[in-house]
Every structure is written in structure tokens, then in C-alpha cells.
Amino acid sequence: MTGSTTLTNPTTPSQPAAAAGRPGDSASPAVSFSAVSKVFPARSGPGVTALQDVDLQVRRGEIFAVVGRSGAGKSTLVRLINGLERPTSGRVSVAGTDISTLTERQLRPIRRRIGMVFQQFNLMRSRTVVGNIAFPLRVAGVDKAARERRVAELLDFVGLREKAWQYPDQLSGGQKQRIGIARALATEPTLLLADESTSALDPETTSEVLALLRRVNRELGITIVVITHEMDVVRSTADRVAVLEAGRVAEVGQVQQVFARPTHHTSRRFVQADVRQQPDADRWGQLRRQHPAKQFGQLVSPDAGLLSRVLVAGAELGVPVEVVHGGVSTFKDGDFSSFTLGIEGPEPAVAQWFSRAHELAAQADGMLTRVSGPASGGDATAGASTGTDNTRTDNTGTGSTDHTDGKAEERR
Amino acid sequence: MSWDELWPVFGTSVVQTLLMVAATLLAGGVLGLLLGVALTVTRPGGLLASRAVHTVLNVAVNIVRPIPFIILITAVGPLTLGLTGTTIGTVAAIVPLVLAATFGISRIVEQNLVTVEPGVIEAARSMGASPTRIIATVLLPEALGPLILGYTFVFVAVVDMTAVAGAVGVGGIGQFAISYGYQRFNWQVTWVAVAAIIVLVQIAQFAGNRLARTALRR
């Protein structure tokens, strides 16, 4: 897509460096939520609770993802960061500045330091590409010469210089979003909010836009908050992730960790929807027909080397273990592997292998799940990317899953 | 009356109509735009949402708009008298015309402004733009094409109103048709008046379409 033009950051005139805080207060996190709740009043009744008791910290320089199903409160959460919404209670701080108490007028200079990218791009159809990118600079009071210079730089950065004088209607979705990103970067923000920025795009364009966001983060050092319902967006871009469920934070952690060991059932569903290396219902049926005598285990880990150690353990115990399904997913920094293993042999040895393999998995920050009994129905894992309710071995009563990793939770 | 006598009267009538239409579109256009913007931005969820202000404006528009124009002219007689010193003639007619146009235009402006994507407004807010800046540089430009078509529609409606006002002696093509055509059983005069109005409307619609096409780039 883009060339390798680097975007220099010349100091833009008439920018109050204070407000959202350039360096100086580097101790405070980029964004901090403490006990934030948001209730939308209803005509009658108690109102709709969009967020409840949210505590989050976005660190400087990271790509932080917020994932959740529609209605989980993601959009509200991101709008609290630039004050488009106000918290009902709690405190939202941006670079150490408590923004929940500011007036609309006081918020304006802070918003100029926070870029925002939208699902529907939200470009002005009445303005050319140049006009759109220059708009936030006009708002910030940047003079004409500096504006033109900055717009040219940004067009180079997103690789769309040849589209300068076109109108948004003449651009493809991916091009529109790259212009949306250029516009969001115009006033040199320290923080970029991306609200479902790839949800309206096809897979190929999605990866282009995500690559651009990673570049923004890496080359310009801009902290990014990515809101998405797609786990593959989280996997390929984010450093850390918060899983939102019904307005509450279900889980926060390093992306790989959450993929390897999701602790909340919502996170598990999201992970399963994305990690396609796990067999779906059809595949399970096929596996059981092909290997009637085998028992199965599901091995997930950020460490692909775990597989060979687990296979070796089988050989040592005299029970042959083979990979019947699986693969490796790529993350922003590293991999995540998921393999379905088939094992055949006398029960004591098999049980011994499961317990040994569980230990090995735990050491490698991974997880081994023993799958027993026939699985049937209800699985949408294979094609699902929307976080539909998809579990592999439950919900008909005919299957059961033993957790051999010592985690006591029910897999639902 | 012969056409030798009628043509000069017809000429004056056309000028009077053009004068009334121009003045109405100018004053009513600006006032209607302001009122329409106010109606739009005070809507629930709007840029300057205010239930109270919106309700007041909404009710006011709904009170004035349904009054048939021929009745409105006489009903606002005292106001007309106060502003222009008379209730008869072309200049006096401009008062009720502007009044009716303002309220009519406000609805057309509102209709077109609410079609502007809320996301675009939100984007402008997220950049730290003030409400007045958003109205002037986002809301109105984004709706410019439909607004031009709306104003073209209003032009035709105003020509119609001036003709109706002809019934109460304000001059213009409408009165020409009524006084010299209808009341004297002179069909030709009526047809000439009709032709003049058709030409006027055609020109206006053509110009409006062109302008709108330029604004919409299609």
C-alpha cells in the first residue's frame, strides 16, 4: 500500500502544548478510567446502563484494544475518552488531566490532541481529500502555508498523494479510511481513538488499514485505543486487550496471554471465534469417525515449541500422540498455536500423559483441555467472526470437557 | 382594452412580481435559514439540543404555516401597516410574503439539514470545533445541494403566493391576470399571465438544478 515515507513532526504553530499533555507529565497513563459508570436516561424507568464500574489504564505508546459484542459499551467507552460522552460517575483522565469535570469549551483544546477514526469514515462529502485533512488544522488555527505543508506530509504518509483533489465519493472504502487516519493525525495527537475502524472494510483492506495503524504507533509513537468486535483485529494489532461484557470489564491483559488462557467465558468465546485452528462441529464428527479409538486434547499456547515437548512426553510414556488438527496464528509480536491432539493407548498411560502434558502447558503459559465424549451440534466457530455463542463440546448434554489445567471454571 | 394599452401594464406587473419574489427570497431566505438551523440543532441529540427551545420554535412554525396565505395577508394587516405605513401595494405585500416564506423555508432547511450524517458532525466535534463553526463549515456545506433544490422549490411557491396576493391588490402578474383577464372575461390576458409565470418558473428551476448539480457534483 504505502511507500516508506516517514512523517516528521514539525511543531505546529499555535498549538497549546498544555491541555492533553505532551511530555512533561509522562508519569501518568495515556488514559485512565476509575470507577466509571455511564447511564443513558430513558423516557421512563431507570435508564440504560452502558458502562458499570470500569477501571482501565491505557499505557503510553501501546496499542490497547477494547473488544466486545455490539451493545457491550465499547463505543460509549471510547467516546468518554474525548468527552463526546460524559461519565455518570467516576473519573476519566487523559494524560493526567481529569476531563470529566471540564466544560464543552474547555474540552475543545484537549480534543485537538486526540485523533479519532470512525467505522463509517465520517469524511465531509462536500470537501476534497485535501479539504478534509486540512479541516482539523483550520479548527486549530494553523495558517495556510503550514496547513498545506502538513496536508502534503500526511498524504505521503498514507500513500494517497494522487487522490489529493478527489472527493470522498470517488474513493474506495480503504482509501477513505486512510484519509480518515490522515485527518485524525493532522494536529499531531498523542492519542488516537479507532472506533471499529475496519468493520466496514473487506479483509484485504482491513489488513492494510491495520498495518497503517501499527505504523502510526511504531513510527510516530502515538498511543492507540482500538475498539473492535473482531478478535483478529485484536490479535494482529494490539499489545493489550480489555474484554467488555454488558458494560463491565470482564478481563484485561496482554493479548497473547488472553488468547492462551482466557479467564472469562466471554473472552473464551471471542478467542474461539478467531482461532480457527480449532475444529468445528463437522470437523469433530469427521475426527471421531477417522479415529474411533482415540481420545483428544486441545493444546493452546503462545509457545509453538510446546508441541514437540508434549509429543516427546507421549513417546516416553509409550502412548503415540499425533496432531490431528491445528495451526499457528500470528500476533503483533509473536505467535499463538492451537493443536488438537489424538492419543491412543491404555488408560493409565493416557491419564499420565494428560497430567504430564498439562504441566508442560502450564510452564509454557499455555493450556491443555481434555476433550472426551462425542461432540455434537451448536458450533459456529469455523466461520464466525462476530463472537456468536459458539462452544465446542457442550450444550447438548452428550459431550463433556475435562479441564486438566487445574482451572476450575465451567466451560460454557 | 387593447393590447397596446395592456402591454405596458403587463411589463409593470412582471417587474412587481420580480421585486416581490426577490425581496421575499432574500429576507425570508435568510430568516428561514436561521430558523431552520435553530430547529435542527436544538432537536434531541442535536448540536445544541434543547427540548424547551425546540418545542417553542416547533409550535410557532406549526401555528403560522397552516394559515392560508390569502388570510395571512389580511391577518397581519396591522403589522404591515406599522412597518410600511400601508396595507396596499407591492411593498406592503412583502411583509406577509416574508413571514410566510420564513416559516415555510425553515421546514425545508430543517428537512435537509437532518439528512447530514450525524457521524460527520461527531467527527467535527472530536476535532474540537465549536458549534457555530460546525454549523457554518460542516452542516450547511454538507447539505448545500439539497438546500439549493429546496430554495428553488420555494421560489416557485413564492411566485404562487404573489399571484394569490394579486386578489387583494398588491400588483404583479397575479393581479394583472385577475383584473384584466378574469374580471373582464379576457381569456387571452389570463393566458399571457400564465405563460409569463411558466417562463419565470422554468428559468428558476433550470438555474436551481444547475447550481445544485454543481454543489452535488453529479
| Mean per-residue pLDDT of chain B | 91
User: Chain A residues with CB inside 8 Å of B120's CB?
Assistant: 122-124
A357-372 pLDDT, tens digit each: 989 988 888 888 888 6
* B165 at A interface, C-beta within 8 A: no
What is the torsional sign of CA A289, A295, A298, A304? negative
Contact assignment for A84 to B137 by CB distance below 8 Å: no
Return the percent helix, strand and coil in chain B, to nearest 5.
80, 0, 20
The answer, yes or no, to whether residue A150 has pLDDT greater than 80, is yes
Question: pTM above the 0.95 mark?
Answer: no
- Which of A124, A133, A188 would best serve as a mutation to test chain B binding (most B beta carbons within 10 A)? A124
Mutate to test the interface with A, among B127, B137, B142, B218 (most CBs of A within 10 A): B127
Is the model's pLDDT at A303 over the cut of 70?
A: yes
Query: How many Å apart are CA A251 and CA A358, to the nearest integer?
Result: 23
Cβ-defined contact of A112 to B128 (cutoff 8 Å): yes
Residues in chain B: 218
CB–CB of B128 and A135 under 8 A? no
Give the minimum alpha-carbon distance from A18 to chain B in angstroms, rounded to a whole number: 15
Q: Is the pLDDT of residue A181 over 80?
A: yes
A192 touches chain B (CB under 8 A): no
Residues in contact with B16: Cβ distance below 8 Å, sequence separation at least 6, in sequence order = B90, B170, B171, B172, B173
Q: What is the pLDDT of residues A82-112, one digit of tens each?
A: 999 999 999 999 999 999 889 999 999 999 9
Average pLDDT, whole number, for chain A?
Answer: 82
Candidate ranges A10-24, A121-135, A327-341; pick with highest mean pLDDT: A121-135
pLDDT at B153 over 80: yes
The band of B181, judged by pLDDT with boundaries at 50, 70 and 90, is confident
Cα distance between residue A323 and residue A332, in whole Å = 26
Average pLDDT over residues B94-114: 95
Q: Is A169 on the interface with B (CB under 8 A)?
A: yes
Helix (H, G, I), strand (E, B) or coil at A260: helix
Q: Distance (Å) from the C-alpha of residue A281 to the closest C-alpha of chain B?
A: 41
Residue-wise pLDDT for B45-86, tens only, equals 899 999 999 999 999 999 999 999 989 988 998 999 999 888
pLDDT in tens, A318-357: 888 888 888 887 777 777 788 889 998 888 888 889 999 9
Is it the case that residue A274 has pLDDT exceeding 80? no
Confidence of residue A7 (pLDDT cuts 50, 70, 90): low
**Is B128 in contact with A109 (Cβ distance < 8 A)?**
yes
| CA-based radius of gyration for chain B | 20
ipTM > 0.90 for the complex: no
Q: In this structure, how many other beta carbons lie within 10 angstroms of the beta carbon of residue A332?
A: 17
Instruction: Using CA coordinates, name the residue in chain A closest to B218.
Output: A169
For strands A97-98 and A48-58, give the pairing. Answer: unpaired
Q: How many CA atoms lie within 13 A of A330 on its CB side?
A: 4
Residue A372 pLDDT: 63
Predicted pLDDT of residue A23? 43
Q: Give the pLDDT band (50/70/90) at residue B167.
A: confident
- A120/B117 touch (CB, cutoff 8 Å), yes or no: yes
Q: Among partner residues B119, B127, B144, which is closest to A136 by beta-carbon distance?
A: B127
Convert the pLDDT of each residue in B189-218 to its tens digit: 889 989 999 999 999 999 999 999 988 876
| A400, containing H or E segment | strand A400-403
Domains of chain A (ranges plus CATH)?
Answer: 31-273 (3.40.50.300), 281-371 (3.30.70.260)
Among B122, B126, B148, the residue to mutate for chain A (most A Cβ within 10 A): B126
Average pLDDT over residues A377-383: 36
Q: Nearest CB to B127: which of A105, A123, A135?
A: A135
Report the pLDDT value the prediction gives residue B145, as an integer from 0 to 100.
93
Tell me, what's the pLDDT at A397?
33
**What is the per-residue pLDDT for A5?**
53
Is the predicted pLDDT of residue A6 greater than 60, yes or no?
Answer: no
Beta strands at A295-301 and A367-372: parallel, antiparallel or unpaired:
antiparallel
Nearest CA in chain A to B117: A122
| DSSP conformational letter for A395 | S
Cα A225 to Cα A196, A326, A389, distances in angstroms: 10, 31, 26
Residue B123 with chain A: CB contacts under 8 Å = 116, 118, 122-123, 183
Residue A74 main-chain phi, psi, to 5 deg: -60, -50
For residue B129, which residues of chain A lie inside 8 Å, CB to CB?
108, 139
Residues found in chain A: 412
CB atoms within 10 A of CB B82: 10
- State the virtual CA torsion across A184, A189, A192, A195 in degrees, nearest 10: -40
Task: Cell numbers for A85, please give them.
Answer: 460522552
A12 interfaces chain B, CB cutoff of 8 Å: no
Which CATH superfamily is B3-217 part of? MetI-like (1.10.3720.10)
Cα A9-A14-A15 angle, rounded to 5 deg: 55
In DSSP notation, B81-101 reads HHHHS-SSSHHHHHHHHHHHH
Residue A283 has pLDDT above 60, yes or no: yes
Q: Is A18 on the interface with B (CB under 8 A)?
A: no
pLDDT-based confidence at A407, cuts 50/70/90? very low
A387 or A319, greater pLDDT: A319
pLDDT at A102: 92
pLDDT above 70: percentage of residues in chain B: 100
The pLDDT tens digits of the residues spanning A312-323 come to: 888 888 888 888
**A-proximal residues of B, 175-204, CB under 8 Å:** none
Of all residues in chain B, the one with the smallest CA distance to A83 is B126
**Per-residue model confidence (pLDDT) at position B106:** 96
Q: How many CA atoms lie within 13 A of B78 on its CB side?
A: 1
Q: Is the pLDDT of residue A411 over 90?
A: no
Question: Cα–Cα–Cα angle for A279, A282, A285, nearest 5°?
Answer: 90
In this complex, do A126 and B142 lie within 8 Å of one another by their Cβ atoms?
A: yes
Distance from CA of B49 to the nearest CA of A (A): 13
CA dist A95 and A93 (Å) reads 6
